[in-house]
């Protein structure tokens, strides 16, 4: 029997879960139709933030306050809230791979439906240095055979403070020439904003942590040299059967 093929995104999620599981991360999930509270307010995105305007977010008809989630970050809140409810205090470590939505026209770099992976680590002494170490470890294992370098640049997200943009560089002879020695923007990340912890019921005086969110489609594009993000959702075996 000829084997079928796994979708590259599924393969990537499988690999990411394997790596993060070893680092103590549990895979968590949340709904795709999400309340504005979890998707925005609890994440410290104010009511009048431009991201909440009509053009970026899909709103659900006749269900006021409900949207198609625009990122995997609402699961940060849901997960912590659930743990507190169960009486489990931090440390927490979770990753959240899943589908997210942006209300935009599609082209070779944009899709209205795409995949993200979220990471969250909360404890008494989880630092920005741990974020660097964790991501370095992840990329090092994902891009086997290359030497991976990570760097941070200042950025801004309402749900992290400090916020950083994370760049990665692959060094070494085994790296495809297109990627070799080039800094590539990988994701947004930072230290969880105290308001986000508070909104989840976690005491920000005692606990702190890091969070990151990365586009999986983009990661797949880089990993395999794919030139059009729409292929991911094309259901075309001329693409999928290469994996």
Partner 1 sequence: MKISRDWLQTFFEQPLPDAAALADALTFHAFEVESIENVGLTKSHMDQVFDVKVTPNRGHDCLSHRGIAKEISAILNIPLAHDPLRMRLNLIPVATNLAISIQEPKLCSRYIAGMIRGVKVGPSPEWLRKHLEAVGQKSINNVVDATNFVMFNIGQPLHAFDAGQLTEKGGRYAIQVRLARVGEKMLALDDKEYGLSDSMMVIADAHSGAAIGVAGVKGGKPAGVNENTTDIIIESANFDGVSVRKTAAALKLRTDASVRFEQVISPELAAYGMHAVAGLIVKVAGGEIVGFVDEYPFRTHRVLNGIEVSIKEVNRVLGTNFGETDIIDVFTRLGLPFEKNDDAFIVTPPFERLDLLIPEDIIEEVGRIVGYDKISAVELPPFPKQPEVNPNFYAAEHEREDLISKGYSEVFTSVFADKGERVVTNKVDGVRPYLRTSLIPGLEDALLKNARNKDLLGLKEVKLFDIGTVWKSGKEVTMLATIGEKEKANERVLEPIAVNTYEHLPTSSTGNYQTFSKYPFIVRDIAMWVPAGTEADDVLKVIRENSGELLVRSEKFDEFRKNDKVSYAFRLLFQSFDRTLFDEDANARMENVNDAVKEKGWEVR
Q: Which of residues 213-232 bind partner 1 (CB under 8 A)?
A: 224-227, 232
Contact set for partner 1, span 107-136 (CB under 8 A): 112-113, 121, 125-130, 132-134, 136
* Cβ-proximal residues to 146 (8 Å cutoff; 6+ apart), any chain: 170, 171, 172, 174, 175
Min dist CB 32 to partner 1, Å, is 5
* Cβ-proximal residues to 190 (8 Å cutoff; 6+ apart), any chain: 128, 131, 155, 157, 160, 161, 162, 163, 164, 210, 211, 212
Cα separation, 25 vs 205, in Å, equals 23
Q: Write out the DSSP string of 2-49.
A: ------HHHHHHHHHHHHHHHTTPEE----SEEEHHHHTGGGT--TT-
Closer to partner 1 at the Cβ: 77 or 210?
210
Binding mask 165-194 vs partner 1 (x if CB under 8 A, - otherwise)? x----------x--------------x-xx
Closest C-alpha among 40, 107, 110, 97 to residue 68? 40
Closer to partner 1 at the Cβ: 104 or 203?
104
Q: Does 87 bind partner 1 (CB under 8 A)?
A: no
Q: Does 45 bind partner 1 (CB under 8 A)?
A: no
Q: Which residue of 65, 109, 156, 206 would you call a contact of partner 1, by CB under 8 A?
A: 156
Q: Does 86 bind partner 1 (CB under 8 A)?
A: no
Q: Choose the stretch contacting partner 1; rule: CB under 8 A; options: 36-44, 69-77, 235-243.
A: 235-243
Q: Does 163 bind partner 1 (CB under 8 A)?
A: yes
Min dist CB 201 to partner 1, Å, is 19
Min dist CB 46 to partner 1, Å, is 9
Closer to partner 1 at the Cβ: 26 or 109?
26
Q: Does 25 bind partner 1 (CB under 8 A)?
A: yes
Q: Which residues of 90-118 are buried (b: 16+ CB within 10 A; e: fewer)?
A: bebbbbbbbebbbeeeeeeeebeebbbbb
Count of positions on this chain that bind partner 1 (CB under 8 A): 91
Cα separation, 42 vs 194, in Å, equals 11
Min dist CB 205 to partner 1, Å, is 11
């Amino acid at each position: 029997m000829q084997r079928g093929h796994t979708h590259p995104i599924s393969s990537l999620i499988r690999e990411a879960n394997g790596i993060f599981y070893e680092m103590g991360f549990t895979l968590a999930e949340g709904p795709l139709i999400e309340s504005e509270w979890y998707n925005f307010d609890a994440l410290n995105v104010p009511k009048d933030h431009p991201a909440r305007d009509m053009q970026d977010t899909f709103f659900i008809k006749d269900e006021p306050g409900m949207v198609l989630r625009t990122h995997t970050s609402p699961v940060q809140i849901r997960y912590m809230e659930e743990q507190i409810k169960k009486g489990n205090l931090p440390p927490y470590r979770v990753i959240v791979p899943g589908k997210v939505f942006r209300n935009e026209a599609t082209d070779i770099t944009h899709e209205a439906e795409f995949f993200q992976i979220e990471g969250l680590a909360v404890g008494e002494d989880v630092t920005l240095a741990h974020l660097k170490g964790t991501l370095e470890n992840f990329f090092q294992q994902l891009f086997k055979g290359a030497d991976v370098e990570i760097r941070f640049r200042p950025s801004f997200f309402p749900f992290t403070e400090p916020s950083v943009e994370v760049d990665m560089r692959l060094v070494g002879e085994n790296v495809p020439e297109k990627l070799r020695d080039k800094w590539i923007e990988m994701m947004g990340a930072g230290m969880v904003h105290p308001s986000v912890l508070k909104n989840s019921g976690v005491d920000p005086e005692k606990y702190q942590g890091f969070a990151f969110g990365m586009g999986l489609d983009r990661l797949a594009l880089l990993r395999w040299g794919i030139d059009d993000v729409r292929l991911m959702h094309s259901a075309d075996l001329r693409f999928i059967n290469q994996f």
